[in-house]
Structure 1
Amino acid sequence: MKPRTYLFTWQGIEIEAIYEPLKWKVTAHLEIRSISPAGARLPITDTGYRSHFHRPGTIEAEGGNVVAQVIAWLDEAAATDTDWTAYVKASRQGDLFK
């Protein structure tokens, strides 16, 4: 199966997710990239890019909605990652020392 590309916005960040249900005939692959702002930090990656390999059929077993599952992953990580919470707070407030 060919990779499918999904574009969506999460917390004001435009994100591209590319999902390949069967890569190399042995694994599934999900790429997540923040595209606007380019390279924006996400709670699952400091660089704005994440490559994730997983067992084929995992996303399909949960209903197959790639965007909904990536958003759920981001929401869960954002809720439990204290570094992300501090980053968001500092971003809103601004930093005079940068």
Structure 2
Amino acid sequence: MTAQTYRFTWQDIEIEAVYAPNKWNVIAHLEIWSINPDRAPLPITETGYFSHYHPIEELGGDVVVQVIAWLDEEAAKPAWKACVEAIRQYSLI
């Protein structure tokens, strides 16, 4: 099966996710980029890019729904809340 590309917005950040459910017939691969703003931090990555290999069939169902649920879960953690606050205050950290 070929890779599927999804674009969606999460908390005013445009995101692109590319999911290859069967890469090289041995593994699945999920890539996530923040594309607008470019390389904006996300709760799962400070760099705006995330690559994840996992066993085939591990990510079943709607990819976008699952990625958003993952982002929401990580965004509830203190580390992300601190990051958002630092961005709001224009911190250089």
Question: TM-score with structure 2 length normalisation?
Answer: 0.92
* Percentage of identical aligned residues: 59
Partners of 1:72 and 1:54 in 2: CA distance: 18
Partners of 2:24 and 2:74 in 1: CA distance: 29
Cα offset, 1:83, TM superposition: 2.1
Q: Match for 1:71 among 65, 68, 73?
A: 68
Q: Does 1:29 align with 2:29?
A: yes
Unpaired segments ≥5 residues, structure 2:
none
Q: 2:18 corresponds to which residue?
A: 18
Q: 1:42 corresponds to which residue?
A: 42
Partners of 1:45 and 1:87 in 2: CA distance: 11
Aligned length: 92
Partners of 2:4 and 2:52 in 1: CA distance: 15
Unpaired segments ≥5 residues, structure 1:
none
Structure 1 runs of 4+ aligned residues shifted over 4 Å read: none
Question: Which structure shows the bigger proportion of residues in helix conformation?
Answer: 1
Q: Does 1:83 align with 2:55?
A: no
Q: Secondary structure at the match of 2:31?
A: strand
Question: TM-score with structure 1 length normalisation?
Answer: 0.88
